[in-house]
Amino acid sequence: MKVSRSIRVAIGAVAVALAATACGGDESRSVTESAADGTLTVGIKFDQPGLGLRNPDGTFSGFDVDVARYVADQLGVSEENITFKEAPSAQRETLIQNGEVDYIVATYSITDSRKEKVDFAGPYFETGQSLLVRVDDTEITGPESLNDGKILCSVAGSTPAQNIKENYAQDVQLQEFDTYSLCVEALRSGAVDAVTTDAVILAGYAAQSPGSFKLVGDTFTTELYGIGLAKGDDESRNQINDAIQEMLDSGAWEAAYEENLGASGYPIPDKPMIDRY
């Protein structure tokens, strides 16, 4: 049977695509394989002062950034061979699953639902959910005081705002943005009444604008920050856990905290216990 030229071209294209898939792409690489080649791509936040911040000169600073660098160094990758990629909250699992990053250090709370999609090393930090309000606000004192149509801001893809609506203040109005920095600017302008996320994140924003904002109430959740990586990459997770433990034991963890978050006034928490599941 004679096969038309168009069919032959189509078959050839499919064969090329299948061959490329069989050879694998970046998404199939483990963290340790990338490190063995001497480079790593790490997801961080770009807009969280004290934790993950892209500075005006293009450099990066923050506690999470220092954790990311320490882990990379323990894996044999020097700082100049790390590529930092922005990891917005709603995109973190996708970035890992698509192989766009090797691992993510971005105030990434370990949850059961996320563990269905990615794996976590750590935790490397413990905090809890809190509220940020304008410094002259006397009405909002905790999550229960957010009823009566108060507008609460958080970030799409994160869980804090929904937690308040479900468990503390059913009448609160939720406003979601892509980043916490946009929430903070909305709070500054009066467009929202409060911002909610983890206390250590909010403390960084309060320290960045002295006299403008304050944290109110006690923390009302427990959040354990982990380093996210591809599901099933057990060897890499174990090596990252070892790196975190070394940072905790060596004094580098406390030093990184004091350098990046000491000025915020948020007290240093107890060292976390690594979960080697």
Query: What are the sequence ranges of the domains in the chain?
Result: 26-127+224-264, 129-216
pLDDT in tens, 51-90: 999 999 999 999 999 999 999 999 999 999 999 999 998 8
Q: What is the reported pLDDT for 45? A: 95
Q: What is the reported pLDDT for 25? A: 41
Rounded distance between C-alpha atoms, residue 35 and residue 14, angstroms: 33
Highest average pLDDT, of 3-17, 21-35, 192-206, comes from: 192-206
Structure tokens at 117: 């999609």
pLDDT in tens, 149-206: 899 999 887 778 778 888 888 888 989 998 888 999 999 999 999 999 999 999 889 8
Contact partners, residue 270, CB within 8 Å, separation at least 6: 126
* Nearest partner of 129 among 152, 98, 160, judged by Cα: 160
In terms of DSSP bridges, do strands 173-177 and 151-155 run parallel, antiparallel, or are they unpaired?
parallel
Q: What is the reported pLDDT for 163? A: 84
Q: Which CATH number fits domain 26-127+224-264: 3.50.50.60, 3.40.190.10, 3.20.20.80, 3.40.47.10?
A: 3.40.190.10
Rounded distance between C-alpha atoms, residue 236 and residue 47, angstroms: 27
Please say if the pLDDT value at position 12 is more than 80: no
DSSP letters of the chain? -PPPHHHHHHHHHHHHHHHHHHH--GGG--HHHHHHTT-EEEEE-SEETTTEEE-TTS-EESHHHHHHHHHHHHTT--GGGEEEEE--GGGHHHHHHTTS-SEE-SS-B--HHHHTTEEEEEEEEEE-EEEEEETT--S--SGGGGTTT-EEEEETT-SHHHHHHHHT-TTPEEEEESSHHHHHHHHHHTS-SEEEEEHHHHHHHHHHSTTTEEEES---S-EEEEEEEETT-HHHHHHHHHHHHHHHHHSHHHHHHHHHHGGGTPPPPPPPPP---
Output the average pLDDT for the chain. Answer: 88
In the CATH scheme, what is the homologous superfamily, with its name and number, of domain 129-216?
Periplasmic binding protein-like II (3.40.190.10)
